[in-house]
Chains A and B, each alone.
Chain A
Amino acid sequence: MKGVDPDERAGFEQLFRETRTDLLAYVLRRSQSTEDAADVLAETYLIAWQKLDAIPSGERARLWLFGVARNLLLKGASRHRSRHALVERLAGELRRAHPPPAPAEDERSSALHVALGALPERDREILMLTAWEGLTPKQIAVVVGIPVNLVRVRLHRARTRLKRDLTVPRPSIAPRAGYAAKRDR
């Protein structure tokens, strides 16, 4: 294709291969449906392709992609979802390979879901990035675009609250919408 530096193309393709599973897991955990997850994933890489010069090098490229995906997820229902056949196909594959999670089987897991659902969205996101994406506070700061010390404070508070909610009996609270527990209902 005219105008595409072969090295740039190779670099993007390598980034795509190295990050796509992590990014897919990231968006799948936060999407209401496999269609939404597939759409956000495709849109994220399309933005990356169109902003090649803006992608940082090294490990920060992965975090940059998380940040772009996060912004798309924040748009939520206001986004116009693509109906591209390839996106639909990925969504179908996801449904086959990754069925909706079974309800929590034990009391503690159930209590954890309730406690998580009761967390403020901003704190839950930081906990999710820590526990599920395995990111450090410094990496989370890149993804969510806030100072690292603020991440640490919020993480500390969220952990404290989670610990308290799991040790102190509380009335049941329905989990908030917006993360994968509600996926594919």
Chain B
Amino acid sequence: MKRDSREASGSLELWEACDPVAPSALLSEGIERALEEIGAAITSRPPRATRHRSRGVRRRVLVVAATMLALGAGVAAGAVVLGAHTGLFPTEAEQEMGGPGEALNPAAPDFRAVALQIASDIPYPRGYASWREWVLKTQVPTSGVKTSPGDSDSPFPAGLVSTGALHGWFAASAYCAWLQSWRQTSIAGDANATAQAAQTIAQAPGWKAVTDEDPHPDPSAANDPGAETGTLFGWMLPYRDAVLIGDRARVEHLLATGYGGGQCWLSDPLWMAQVRAHGDDWGRLSQKKLAQKYEQFLANGRS
């Protein structure tokens, strides 16, 4: 994945050059003076305005927006203790970015229990319970949990997470776990377990967690042609199709190449532990070489 970033860096550099704003032009004396006056006008007002319903819809909307941002920060700093349920629901635009449903506070003491309740309708194959925990640890870490080695000591960003997004992360994780289970049981010749895995994989694109965010998963959706795997969960379908015809080599190829935005790499705690253990050595590898590492990882029974 890092290779793609390097390949596209030329485009980003060009884009940087196309920045419509020249920051140096914002340092003119006139702008500085106007900003000083605005700053002085703001601090001449009483701070911490109290909220009165009579202040109108606009103010209430802004307070809610600011509160949504502030909630996580306050909790992360240990200043506020609230439950995971915030009672706040994102706007349509915010849904587009962060998923549908209620905004949850990942730093709340009851967040884990709430998250597991949300994920309770998503089955994981036997032996993959750690993958569910991995979602909680990596996708929505709470205060004090580092996202990866080398991160600063600061806790996870103080953002809220929607129930829809969280549900979707569990669905993606479980789906990848079922793919691994299907592959392993297929190799082991356990026909019953393989059939059960295949059945679950076939049903997964219809899970509520999936359809809430992506009603029509499509790997080549015309409405989002820039995404290499179409709609949000469109990447599931090529895996499913390969499983349903028993094409293990195809499934392994998709897994090895990180098809689906690397979702099945990110979901696999054992693989991510290896990636992190090798640090920059693997970070400098091309996508092709990293895929070879993953093939080796699979061949070694994911160890």
The chain A residues found within 8 Å of chain B, CB to CB, are: 1, 3-4, 8-9, 12-13, 16-17, 20-22, 24-25, 28-29, 41-43, 45-47, 49-58, 60, 63-64, 67-68, 71-72, 74-75, 79-80, 84, 86-87, 89-90, 93-94, 96-98, 101, 104, 108-109, 112-113, 115-116, 118-123, 125, 127, 130-132, 138-139, 141-142, 144-150, 152-153, 155-166, 179-181, 183
Contact = CB atoms under 8 A, between A and B. Distances in A.
A29 to B, nearest CB: 5
Contacts of B18: 104, 109, 112-113
Q: Interface extent on B, as a size class? A: 35 or more
Contacts of A9: 43
Given A122-B97, A131-B15, A145-B68, A93 B34 contact: yes
Given A45-B39, A157-B261, A123 B46 contact: no
Contacts, number: 249
Interface in B41-62: 41-49, 58, 61-62
Contacts of A50: 45, 47-49
A163 to B, nearest CB: 4
Contact of A56 (B17, B20, B73): B73
B222 interface: no
Interface of B: 1, 4-5, 7-8, 11-12, 14-23, 25-28, 30-31, 33-35, 37-39, 41-49, 58, 61-62, 65-70, 73-74, 76-77, 79, 91, 93-94, 96-99, 138-140, 147, 151, 154, 156-161, 165, 169, 224-228, 261-263, 266
Nearest to A119: B226
A163 B5 CA distance: 10
A45 B42 contact: yes
Contacts of A52: 47-48
A90 B40 CA distance: 14
Contacts of B21: 25, 28-29, 98, 132, 180
Contacts of A71: 62, 65-66, 68-69, 94
A44 B148 CA distance: 32
Contacts of B42: 16, 42, 45-46, 49
Contacts of B23: 21-22, 25
Nearest to B71: A54
Contacts of B26: 21, 24-25, 28, 94, 97-98
A74 B93 contact: yes
Nearest to A132: B19
Contact of A87 (B27, B38, B99, B157): B38
B219 to A, nearest CB: 13
A104 B17 CA distance: 11
Contacts of B28: 93, 96-97
A71 B91 CA distance: 10
Q: Which of A22, A94, A156 has the most CB of B within 10 A?
A: A156
13 contacts: A3-B46, A22-B23, A28-B20, A28-B26, A54-B67, A54-B73, A71-B66, A90-B34, A120-B224, A131-B15, A157-B227, A163-B11, A180-B21
